[in-house]
Structure 1
Amino acid sequence: MSSETKINSRDSGGKTIVDIETQNVDFRNCEAIKSSVAGFVSQGQKNILLNLSKVNFMDSSGLGVILFCKRACDEAGGSFGAFGLQNYVNNLVNLTNLNKTIDIYNNESEAVC
């Protein structure tokens, strides 16, 4: 795991918020994020919201992380969404039509409703 990647989790409204505390989600840290989310799901935390408000850049590995999280939550009978997408990440998600597969919210309060 990259020393600059911090992943924190907290509970809000019965959902697990996973705060990605890094500016880039790419090949260097995608496995660490996947591993963290897989751990939460295996512990029964199957309703996950990814907080991407600090992420300014994402490559194809980052898109893979989002798809992995969605699949893990779906397979556990839970739900998955993301919020706080910055311009670059939001454009990437829209360009790849990932926004049609994943629930995307503007902010945390909208996401936990």
Structure 2
Amino acid sequence: MEVSIEERDGYAEVVVEGRLNVAGASQLRAKVADAIADGHRLLVMNLRKTEFMDSSGLGALVGCLKAAREAGGDLRLAQVGERVGAVLKLTSLDRVFVPHENAEDAAKGE
């Protein structure tokens, strides 16, 4: 799994590529913690390249959301693929993480 942080106008876009599972969950949490420490409060997690997510990945998303909110910010999802979206829906986390069409809309909260 690869995680990259791209600075945008008013937010940081976190791009997750590959399989978000137990092997990558701690890496994701660490990258998000670094982004928050660098002063980013609004994070948009772009999952367009995320092929798979298991319960460890879900836990990482929830942990990242909690860290962002504790820092006075928020974490939003963008470009959620069908497989990852199904996992969110199955666990009812699609009510917590409302998927957005793209990163810009997520940043605006639209």
User: How many Å separate the matches in 1 of 2:104 and 2:71?
Assistant: 24
Is 1:19–2:18 an aligned residue pair?
no
Q: Pick one of 33, 37, 41 that aligns with 1:42.
A: 37
What is the root-mean-square deviation in Å for CA atoms of aligned residues? 1.2
- Aligned with 1:9: secondary structure? strand
- Aligned with 1:99: secondary structure? coil
Is 1:8–2:9 an aligned residue pair?
no
Conserved 8 A contact 2:2-2:18 = no
Conserved 8 A contact 2:21-2:57 = yes
Number of residue pairs matched by the alignment: 108
User: How many Å separate the matches in 1 of 2:67 and 2:74?
Assistant: 9
Q: Which of structure 1's runs of 4+ aligned residues deviate more than 3 A?
A: none
Deviation at 1:13, TM superposition (A): 3.0
User: How many Å separate the matches in 2 of 1:50 and 1:67?
Assistant: 12
Q: Report % sequence identity.
A: 26
Is 1:56–2:76 an aligned residue pair?
no
| Residue of structure 2 in register with 1:74 after alignment | 69
- Aligned with 1:112: secondary structure? helix
Q: Structure 2 regions of 5+ residues with no counterpart?
A: none
Q: Structure 1 regions of 5+ residues with no counterpart?
A: none
Q: TM-score if structure 1 supplies the norm length?
A: 0.88
